[in-house]
């Protein structure tokens, strides 16, 4: 997978190391370079996403218990948040259906190891939620911040099932290297330039040297690098 340094007026691709090119050969890592944007962590990825897709006064749906950073972001950007009821499998489809029908611009969800409940949404439920969102033209913002830890779960990301617009957020900060605040954001085709403009407006760019080493070269233990790469490529592979 080729990564992109975003935050400049135009994004330019980093050349992966020979080792990365070798290990990607024949893999499903097909996310197009212009769809993968690098951010200063997952919270920053959320900020640039919602700054792009949610206007002041818009409604954004979430799980009934959600990550506190989402509340902070709604105060900051001026959109409203409505929490939807969950059961043991995560968001309840009937509640998603009703809320989408009433009008919402996005659904922010953590299908894998939801914060704070730890719920993992099963595959069937993901397909249902993805279909409902697409039917109502509601963008899905999937926060996969904890997906890295779900070593026993092989459920595909919700964003990989969405036929409508979907955003997929992950990061290496905290999962691999606590001090390195790097996130990555997969955006729908055609949205790269707009989200990139939000990255430039908010932070210009993170250190390209850190990014090159930590994100494109995957210089971690083979297991850790492979796990992150597989999670990202499964979303990109649905393109």
Ligand X SMILES: Cc1ncc(COP(=O)(O)O)c(C=O)c1O
Q: Which residues are at the interface with ligand X (CB under 6 A)?
A: 41-43, 67, 69, 110, 115, 143, 145, 171, 173-174, 183
Nearer to ligand X among residue 128 and residue 143 (C-beta): 143
Q: Supply the Cα-derived Rg of the chain in whole angstroms.
A: 17
Nearer to ligand X among residue 54 and residue 134 (C-beta): 54
Cβ of residue 188: shortest distance to ligand X, in angstroms?
A: 20
Q: How would you write 165-195 as a 3-class SS string?
A: CEEEEEECCCCCCCCCCCEEEECCCCCHHHH
Where b means 16+ CB within 10 Å and e means fewer, 154-183 reads ebbbbbbbbebbbbbbbbbbebbeeebbbb
How is residue 193 written in tokens?
A: 């330039």
Nearer to ligand X among residue 155 and residue 237 (C-beta): 155
Closest residue to ligand X in the complex (CB): 41
Nearer to ligand X among residue 93 and residue 183 (C-beta): 183
Cβ of residue 101: shortest distance to ligand X, in angstroms?
A: 27
Cβ of residue 102: shortest distance to ligand X, in angstroms?
A: 25
Torsion of CA 168, 42, 174, 220, to 10 degrees: 50
The count of residues in the chain is: 239
Cβ of residue 31: shortest distance to ligand X, in angstroms?
A: 19
């Amino acid at each position: 997978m080729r990564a992109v340094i975003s935050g400049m007026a135009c994004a330019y691709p980093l050349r992966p190391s020979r080792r990365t090119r070798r290990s990607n050969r024949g893999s499903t890592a097909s996310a197009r370079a212009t769809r993968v944007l690098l951010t200063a962590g997952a919270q920053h990825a959320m900020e640039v996403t919602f700054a792009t897709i949610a206007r002041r006064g818009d409604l954004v749906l979430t799980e009934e218990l959600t990550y506190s950073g989402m509340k902070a972001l709604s105060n900051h950007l001026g959109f409203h948040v409505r929490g939807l009821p969950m059961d043991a499998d995560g968001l309840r489809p009937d509640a998603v259906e009703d809320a989408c029908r009433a009008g919402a611009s996005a659904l922010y969800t953590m299908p894998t190891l939801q914060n704070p409940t730890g719920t993992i949404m099963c595959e069937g439920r993901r397909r249902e939620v993805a279909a409902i969102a697409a039917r109502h033209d509601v963008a899905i913002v999937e926060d996969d911040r904890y997906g890295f830890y779900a070593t026993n779960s092989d459920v595909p990301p919700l964003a990989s099932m969405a036929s409508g617009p979907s955003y997929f957020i992950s990061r290496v900060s905290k999962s691999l290297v606590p001090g390195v605040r790097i996130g990555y954001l997969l955006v729908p085709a055609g949205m790269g330039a707009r989200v990139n403009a939000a990255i430039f407006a908010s932070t210009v760019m993170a250190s390209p040297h850190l990014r090159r080493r930590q994100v494109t070269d995957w210089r971690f233990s083979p297991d850790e690098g492979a796990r992150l790469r597989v999670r990202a490529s499964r979303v990109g592979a649905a393109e």
